Amino acid sequence: MVKKQDVFHSLFNPRSVAVIGASENPLKMGHQCLLSLSGSAFPGPIYPVHPQAQAKEILGMRSYAGLNDVPGEVDLVILAIPASEVIPTLQSCRAKGVRGAVIITAGFREIEDPQGERLQKEMALVASRGGIKIIGPNTFGLVNVHARLNASFTPLFSRLKPGSISLVGQSGGVSHIIAYQAINEGVGLSKVVGLGNRCHVDFADLLPFLEKDPETRCVILFIEGQDDPKDLISAVKKVARKKPVIAMKAGRYEESWKAAQSHTGSMAGRYGLYEASLRQAGALVVQDPGELLDVAKILTILRPPSGRNVAVMSFQAGPGILLTDAIVEHGLRIARFSPPTQEQLNRILPPLTIRTNPVDIAFAQNESLFEGSLKLILNDKNVDALVIFLLHHPFMDLRRVIRPVLRQRQLSKKPVILGVNALHGSIDEEVAELETAGIPVYSLPDRAIRALKGLMVYGEMFKKKGC
């Protein structure tokens, strides 16, 4: 068990990486992999390897004709070579003492030709004998943001910010959708893994590593289908006791299930069964890739509240009404302020404001009035969580909202979520500051409420189990 952990540790934290199939041609995967590694500023040596590349330079890096020619030790290899060369190359990896291999090459189990499946089985055997862990084949690769390791064919992933959410995806395409969203919205990630054909490493193998990984506080799984989901389910069950696991399973209907089946080459089980077993195992199941990241973010920042009663404060009435619509629609409740809170709000807020929940504080853009109401609302026993919404406008000093929210958040254990609608990139610093201080930020009313619902459902799952 300890050894297995060690192997995954080397895979995600290699001291050196070789790219086999390195190329000067930007249209080749081997070229993109080199760009990824150098773009993420990987601190260890990077060795481009290509039979015709001896003593040449590729992208400014000294390159080698074979793995044996590489002067130093190699912990991780990335393979972007024809399928027929993979097994001999793995044998030379074994000789070199390589610990992990990311195999980008396609043309194995996923093809119709039975030769693909045979090759894949042999590949797994060779790797197992050599103590090498294979990610793939037919994968985009893996990323460990904290180790500045972008071992993928997507150089854009070097723009990922470090965070505590790890993503394991059975679909390269969907993993890209989620990781691009993380980049676009500045959500930090820890590890990103594309499982590819899972010849050697599947969800069930990686989950125990992520369970113990101190850089991972929440795990996202995107599942297409498994031959036998039992291992997946029992692995989820173990991790979910320690860390939130959020899962999405594609192929919810007859039509899409068939497509998932032919893609993964496995007997992808019916959606309903997966959903029930994943829930039973303690995973939060969502149905929209955008929601995965929104829910993961809130789970890394906040603890679940004790109930579903939500207070809303907005600086414009319209968004407050949309939040209320979303709260009811998603099965949460609009908190009813206790009489003393309502009485005091009526006293301190000017008559121009709507002082019942949802509170419209449009006319109370005075820092102390806002903070006073914030305090009253957070202290109300009828309130389990608070959502505040505002629009970013140069006219409004955002700090007059942020300061009181940060102060009151320190004094209360209740979740506070901030919705701020803004132009892309215009409030990145403020968002980072708020999220570090325990206040997740969302750009749209519905997204804030869906995330909050995820947090609440997560809390209820574990309350029921008595954890």
Footprint of a second copy on 125-184 (CB under 8 A): 153-156, 159, 169-177, 180, 183-184
Is 115 near a second copy (CB under 8 A)? no
**Closer of 267 and 352 to a second copy (Cβ):** 352
Using a 10 angstrom Cβ sphere, with 0-12 exposed, 13-18 middle and 19 or more buried, the burial of residue 214 is: exposed
Interactions with a second copy, residue window 408-427 (CB under 8 A):
421-425
Span of 85-93, 200-208, 231-239, 327-335 interacting with a second copy by CB under 8 A:
327-335
Using CB under 8 A, pick the residue from 289, 404, 415, 459 that binds a second copy: 289
**Closer of 5 and 256 to a second copy (Cβ):** 256
Strands 189-194 and 141-144: antiparallel
Minimum CB separation from a second copy for residue 454, in Å?
17
Interactions with a second copy, residue window 430-459 (CB under 8 A):
444-446
**Closer of 250 and 417 to a second copy (Cβ):** 250
Minimum CB separation from a second copy for residue 354, in Å?
5
In angstroms, what CA-CA distances link 306 with 339, 413, 460?
21, 10, 8
Interactions with a second copy, residue window 203-222 (CB under 8 A):
222
Compute, in degrees rounded to 10, the torsion defined by CA atoms 375, 378, 379, 385.
180
Minimum CB separation from a second copy for residue 396, in Å?
9
Instruction: Please state, in angstroms and rounded to a whole number, the distance separating the CA atoms of residues 359 and 288.
Output: 30
3-state DSSP assignment of residue 391: strand
Using CB under 8 A, pick the residue from 262, 346, 366, 368 that binds a second copy: 262
Instruction: Please state, in angstroms and rounded to a whole number, the distance separating the CA atoms of residues 175 and 12.
Output: 17
Q: DSSP letter at 408?
A: H
Please choose, from the candidates 314, 418, 416, 439, the residue with its C-alpha nearest in 3D space to the C-alpha of residue 364: 314
**Closer of 10 and 36 to a second copy (Cβ):** 36
Cβ count within 10 A of residue 342: 17
Minimum CB separation from a second copy for residue 159, in Å?
8
**Closer of 217 and 355 to a second copy (Cβ):** 355
**Closer of 65 and 422 to a second copy (Cβ):** 422
Minimum CB separation from a second copy for residue 280, in Å?
22
Cβ count within 10 A of residue 463: 11
Could you give the angle at the alpha carbon of 311 between the alpha carbons of 307 and 313, nearest 5°? Answer: 155
**Closer of 333 and 407 to a second copy (Cβ):** 333
The count of residues interacting with a second copy (CB under 8 A) is: 79
Interactions with a second copy, residue window 380-409 (CB under 8 A):
391, 393-395, 397
**Closer of 18 and 248 to a second copy (Cβ):** 248
Q: DSSP letter at 54?
A: T
Using CB under 8 A, pick the residue from 214, 255, 339, 436 that binds a second copy: 255
Minimum CB separation from a second copy for residue 183, in Å?
6
Using CB under 8 A, pick the residue from 103, 327, 387, 457 that binds a second copy: 327
**Closer of 391 and 437 to a second copy (Cβ):** 391
**Closer of 174 and 301 to a second copy (Cβ):** 174
Using CB under 8 A, pick the residue from 260, 402, 417, 451 that binds a second copy: 260
Minimum CB separation from a second copy for residue 54, in Å?
26
Q: Answer whether 132's CB lies under 8 Å from 93's CB.
A: yes
Minimum CB separation from a second copy for residue 181, in Å?
8
Span of 46-54, 204-212, 228-236, 250-258 interacting with a second copy by CB under 8 A:
250-258
Interactions with a second copy, residue window 13-72 (CB under 8 A):
26-27, 29, 32
Answer positive or negative: Cα dihedral of 257, 261, 264, 267.
positive
Region of residue 309 (left: phi > 0; alpha: psi -120 to 50; beta: else): beta
Half-sphere exposure for 205 (CA within 13 Å, toward CB): 18
Q: Answer whether 389's CB lies under 8 Å from 314's CB.
A: yes
In angstroms, what CA-CA distances link 108 with 203, 345, 380, 389?
19, 66, 60, 50
**Closer of 16 and 324 to a second copy (Cβ):** 324
Interactions with a second copy, residue window 91-110 (CB under 8 A):
106-107, 110
3-state DSSP assignment of residue 145: helix
Span of 91-99, 128-136, 200-208, 311-319 interacting with a second copy by CB under 8 A:
311-319
Could you give the angle at the alpha carbon of 242 between the alpha carbons of 236 and 245, nearest 5°? Answer: 45
Burial code of 250-271, b = ≥16 C-beta within 10 A, e = fewer? bbbeeeebeebbebbbbebbeb
Residue type for position 213: D
Interactions with a second copy, residue window 359-378 (CB under 8 A):
360, 363
Place of tokens 């006073």: 372
Span of 90-98, 339-347, 354-362, 368-376 interacting with a second copy by CB under 8 A:
354-362
